[in-house]
Amino acid sequence: MVLETEVAGIKLRNPLILASGILGNTPALLKRVEEAGAGAVTTKTILPRPTRGFSNPVVVELPFGIINAMGLPNPGIDYFERELREARGEIGIPVIGSAGGGSPEEVAHVAGRLQDAGADAVEINASCPHVRGHGFELGSTPEMLYDLVKEVRRSVKVPLIVKLSPMTHDIRGLGRAALEAGADALNAVNTIRAMYIDVEAMRPVLSNRFGGLSGPAIRPIAVRCVYELADLCDVIGTGGVESWRDAAEMILAGAKAVGIGTAVSRRG
């Protein structure tokens, strides 16, 4: 069976990609994912400066998925650039660097340094739903997303992927704006803003109150978004994939590759 595929000109030995998220914040973890058989790995979203993230509790596990409000904890681009540069030769599959920040200029700065450290592609996190001033707040409209992608495109020459939010009435409008600004591919989708309340304690469980819902609950939404975008460009289908059937569903919807995140964090 031929499993090789290609996304934005990047050749993959198979269509399975570690999605940016709870894992992937150290090169050692990225190497372990390669050894487990992934076709490519995506780093956790890297920011300009070190960030501790939110205080515990930051994750709620539910029967249908998880809600996380990690707060984008990461070592910052100075540290991560050195680590990735040193480890890049040991990772034999494509590395996608996820870039974030509090402004288009910050995201562009991080993206350029991820490229310089050896990332084969850069993914813009334009869709994190629970950190103020980041992610979704920078790309919630086609106009905002266009400006963000345009700024990042000036900083990188490697393939540029934009991770979209499903929290929109017009996913195609967002996709078209990203592509017009210079994106090469789209990733559909990020988590959905959600809340879980402990009825005994009578308060939200997460310290941040809101978090991002991922896992099987969002798969039908992700499949629909992939289907709506697939005729525009190469699409990575992400959201609730836990089995080969789920992956096949994404591919049948039009995805060229499949992102897996929550299933890895839950099952290892």
Polymer length of the chain: 268
- Note if 128 is an active site residue: yes
Name the amino acid, one letter, at 207: S
CA 147 to CA 167: how far, in whole Å? 19
* Residue of 128, 174, 206, 223 with catalytic role: 128
Q: At 246, is the secondary structure helix, strand, or coil?
A: helix
CA 67 to CA 94: how far, in whole Å? 28
Encoded tokens for 234: 């190469």
Encoded tokens for 126: 């334009």
Rg (CA), the chain: 17
Is the CB of residue 186 less than 8 Å from the CB of residue 162?
A: yes
The structure tokens 């959600």 sit at 194
Is residue 63 exposed (0-12), middle (13-18) or buried (19+ Cβ within 10 Å)? exposed
CA 139 to CA 168: how far, in whole Å? 11
CA 211 to CA 21: how far, in whole Å? 13
CA 51 to CA 29: how far, in whole Å? 19
**Contacts (Cβ under 8 Å, ≥6 apart) of 213:** 65, 66, 67, 191, 192, 193, 194
| Residues recognised as catalytic | 128
